[in-house]
């Protein structure tokens, strides 16, 4: 997908380093890049995420799967062999400088229409913002944050942070019985720049990672004693 340089998302990203997009805008933008015909099956795959053993070792809990792709500015996209997720300690003080192996995203989801459409959209937008980049290293993360009456869920246990990449998409897939979970954007010295709560499926945050820090407030159940979760897809693009 080719996004014109004067598109509102491009303008906001270039001006502010981030952009919040509501579902009524984001879903049509995605559909302009491809089909979302398997969205129901895509969303249901969050019910089969495995626990994050590295975070459990720190006394916290979340579920996730991970996949890596390669992409180029001409739109080519390929699933890469399964590999670890790595962040330098300067970007992740909680779990940095270690190779973290997570269960792979299920093959039918990684090759499904919804994920390929999301990646095509990201490739078009991010390549238009960084025209000098010919090749991208792309990582895809499925996250489920669960909350209970006696344990709030932490979408970003490392706090306000950068990911050490070029661009980030955070896309809400599902939200059930959850209060809060507000995405916050800050300058490197901590000045608030904006906040937005991903409430509906397809609500999204787009982030130019070198320019701003981002975080998400803890989530709690609206109704105590009932299952509560926040499901998001995080896609990162880093220049090769």
* Model pLDDT for residues 144-196, shown as the tens digit of each residue: 999 888 888 887 777 788 999 999 999 999 999 999 999 999 999 999 999 99
- Looking at the predicted structure, is the pLDDT value of residue 15 above 50? yes
Which tokens is 74 given?
Answer: 């001409």
Which tokens is 66 given?
Answer: 């991970």
Closest by CA to 213, choosing from 164, 170, 180, 172, is 164
DSSP state of 93: T
Place of tokens 């409430």: 199
pLDDT band of 62, cuts 50, 70, 90: confident
pLDDT band of 14, cuts 50, 70, 90: very high
Average pLDDT over residues 101-115: 96
- Set out the domains of the chain in order of their start, with CATH numbers: 8-239 (2.60.120.620)
Average pLDDT over residues 5-32: 90
Strands of 35-177, DSSP E: 50-51, 63-72, 77-79, 85-86, 99-100, 135-146, 167-176
* First-to-last C-alpha distance (Å) of the chain: 20
| pLDDT for residue 214 | 94
Rounded to whole angstroms, the Cα distance separating 4 from 65 reads 33
| Higher pLDDT pick, 101 / 54 | 101
- Looking at the predicted structure, is the pLDDT value of residue 237 above 90? yes
pTM reported for the whole predicted model: 0.91
Residue 43: what are its φ and ψ, rounded to 5°? Answer: -65, -35
Residue 152 burial (C-beta neighbours within 10 Å; 0-12, 13-18, 19+): middle
CB 115 within 8 A of CB 212: no
| pLDDT for residue 156 | 74
Mean per-residue pLDDT of the chain = 90
CB 213 within 8 A of CB 158: no
| pLDDT for residue 95 | 60
């Amino acid at each position: 997908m080719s996004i014109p340089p004067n598109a509102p998302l491009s303008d906001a990203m270039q001006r502010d380093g981030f952009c919040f997009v509501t579902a009524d805008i984001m879903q049509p933008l995605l559909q302009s890049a491809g089909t979302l015909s398997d969205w129901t099956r895509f969303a249901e795959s969050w019910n089969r995420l495995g626990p994050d053993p590295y975070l459990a070792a720190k006394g916290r809990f979340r579920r996730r799967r991970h996949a890596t792709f390669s992409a180029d500015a001409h739109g080519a996209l390929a699933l890469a062999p399964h590999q670890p997720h790595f962040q330098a300690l300067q970007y992740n003080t909680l779990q940095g400088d270690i190779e973290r192996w997570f269960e792979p995203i299920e093959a039918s989801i990684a090759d499904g229409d919804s994920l390929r459409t999301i990646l095509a959209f990201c490739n078009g937008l991010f390549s238009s913002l960084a025209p000098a980049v010919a090749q991208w290293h792309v990582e895809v993360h499925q996250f489920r944050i669960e909350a209970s009456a006696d344990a709030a869920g932490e979408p970003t246990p490392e706090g306000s942070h950068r990911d050490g990449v070029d661009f980030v998409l955070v896309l809400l897939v599902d939200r059930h019985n959850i209060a809060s979970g507000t995405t916050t954007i800050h300058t490197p010295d901590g000045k608030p720049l904006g906040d937005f709560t991903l409430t509906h499926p397809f609500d999204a945050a787009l982030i130019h990672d070198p320019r701003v820090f981002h975080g998400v407030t803890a989530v709690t159940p609206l109704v105590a004693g009932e299952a509560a979760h926040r499901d998001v897809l995080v896609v990162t693009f880093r220049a090769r």
